[in-house]
Chain A
Amino acid sequence: MAASLKPPARGERYKSLFQIPREEWFVSGHRLCAGCPVGTTMRMLTKVIGPNAIIVNATGCLEVASTPYPYTAWRHPWLHLAFENAGAAASGVEAALKVLKAKGRLDRDIKVVAIGGDGGTVDIGLQALSGMLERGHKVMYVLYDNEAYMNTGIQRSGATPWGAWTTTTPAGKKWRGEWRPKKDIDAIVAAHRVPYVATANPAYPVDMANKFKKAFELTDEGPTFVHVLIPCVPGWRIKDDMGITVARLAVETGVWILYEIDHGEFRVTFPVKRRKPVKEYLKLQGRFRHLTEEEIQKIQEMVDRQVEEVNKLVGKEVIGPVA
């Protein structure tokens, strides 16, 4: 087997895992929990974008765990931000680069990548993000979605799915975990008519690499957005070694559909012929442990509806029935 194959040229796709560059840009020594797929995802992101990028990062697990002073796991120029302003700060950095270029003080093509958690993106940072999208800043925004405010102790967010236990949506006789459905942030972003929106998943590394690559390159035209599902060890109550397995099950059950919206064109990038029952995904996670058979059935129906919607959008059955 070859050590490393050449990465694809601009506009081309990764075809093999061996095209991912060996060099590390998000290095060891960070303090993400053992088994945290945020580490997997950031390694991939930074490898794909390469050195010519400035990263801005809303606070959350990633920000806190990657940069406990005086250490940093980043080799890119990197900016620590408040919880709510990733979109605004990214806009500012992009505008500054534009001015430097116009004045002839910058001759390289340097792109801006913003990273935020689900709390920082779908809740408190939503207006900053919307402003950035509306103004058309050439920024790639990466949402790593662990479905709650994990850094501060597992409080629910707008991205927490129905039925999930969190410290602010407890599970007992009266409360049965989160009672509101997960906010569809990708549809909200797509409604801004940006060039590229995609969902990704660390269990599918080549698919994820291609989405990062496309999103990074298409910032030449405007803002782009990649939404990555991140199972969280303490927050989802899973074993240390289960992050990738649970992420994969999200796709296999139809809970997480891998798709992209490229210039308005919707495409499922990983069709699933036969879905596994959603129970297989839920049963590995302590945050769903309290659910009754009826409640699990309700989630199954929510997933069925989501799959139906996507199939309708595509115009054929790309995600199949439960086997």
Chain B
Amino acid sequence: MSSEGSLPAYYEIPPGGAIPEPGSSLKYKTGSWRVLRPVINQDKCVRCRLCWVYCPDAAILELDEEYVTSKGRRYKITYKVNYDYCKGCGVCARECPVNAIEMVPEPIGGEE
């Protein structure tokens, strides 16, 4: 499920094995590595940015999405997990200062 398309023929490869497309690893979805998946509790999250900073895989998205907690607190940003790339390491859950992230078993088949 991870790669897209087929490899080019040798004569199509740029000299020196150069990769002409920056950031092409985005085509390779590492989400299939995951055994446990992080789930962010948006009500508990205090928007400290630490999970976003620590994630080795840039798999925590920082979105300009407003969120109002059940207690009426309004936030301008929302942190969401990008399950296409999250490898399930659990660093975010361990480092979250308010334990807003729970690691739950990945559903079998990998679908939500």
A residues apposed to B, CB below 8 Å: 1-3, 17-18, 20, 22, 24, 26-32, 34-40, 43-44, 66-67, 69-76, 202, 205, 239-245
Contacts and interface: CB of A to CB of B under 8 A. Distances in A.
Interface of B: 7-8, 17, 19, 21-30, 33-34, 47-50, 53-59, 62, 64, 75-77, 82, 84-85, 87-91, 93-95
Contacts of A17: 48-50, 53
Given A3-B64, A29-B30, A40-B55, A71 B19 contact: yes
A137 B76 CA distance: 45
B93 A70 contact: no
Contacts of B29: 29
A282 B105 CA distance: 29
B93 A67 contact: no
Given A35-B56, A40-B55, A28 B25 contact: yes
A118 B86 CA distance: 27
Nearest to B3: A71
B58 A2 contact: no
A205 B57 CA distance: 16
A29 B25 contact: yes
B112 to A, nearest CB: 18
Pick the most buried of B85, B93, B94: most chain A CB atoms within 10 A of its CB. B94
A27 B91 contact: no
The secondary structure that dominates the A interface is loop
A18 to B, nearest CB: 6
Contacts of B90: 35, 239-241
B28 A29 contact: yes
B53 A205 contact: yes
Contacts of A36: 56, 89
Given A3-B64, A71-B19, A27 B53 contact: no
B47 to A, nearest CB: 5
B56 A71 contact: no
A182 to B, nearest CB: 24
Contacts of A244: 54, 91, 94-95
A20 B89 contact: no
24 contacts: A3-B64, A17-B48, A17-B49, A27-B25, A28-B85, A29-B25, A29-B26, A29-B27, A29-B85, A31-B30, A32-B56, A35-B87, A39-B55, A40-B54, A43-B56, A43-B58, A70-B19, A71-B28, A72-B19, A72-B22, A74-B22, A241-B89, A244-B91, A245-B94
